[in-house]
Amino acid sequence: MPTLFEKIIAREIPAQIEHEDELCIVIHDIQPQAPVHVLVIPKKPIPRVAEAEDDDGATLGHLLLTARDVAKKLNLSNGFRVVINNGPDGCESVPHLHVHLLGQRQMQWPPG
Along the 112 residues of the chain, how does pLDDT read in single tens digits? 899 999 999 999 999 999 999 999 999 999 999 999 999 999 999 999 999 999 999 999 999 999 999 999 999 999 999 999 999 889 999 999 999 999 999 999 887 6
State the pLDDT at residue 110: 86
Q: Domain count for the chain, please give it.
A: 1
Residue 112 lies in a domain: no
Catalytic residue among 37, 62, 96, 98: 98
State the pLDDT at residue 65: 98
pLDDT digit string (tens) for 81-111?
999 999 988 999 999 999 999 999 999 988 7
Residue 111 lies in a domain: no
Nearest alpha carbon to residue 37 among 28, 45, 26: 28
98 labelled catalytic: yes
Alpha-carbon distances, residue 79 vs 23, 55, 58 (angstroms)? 25, 30, 25
Residue 88 lies in a domain: yes
State the pLDDT at residue 111: 79
Residue 65 lies in a domain: yes
Which range marks the domain in which residue 62 is found? 4-103
Which CATH number does the domain housing residue 13 bear?
Answer: 3.30.428.10
Question: Rounded to whole angstroms, how far apart are CA atoms 35 and 71?
Answer: 13
Residues 6+ apart with CB under 8 A from 4: 13, 94, 96
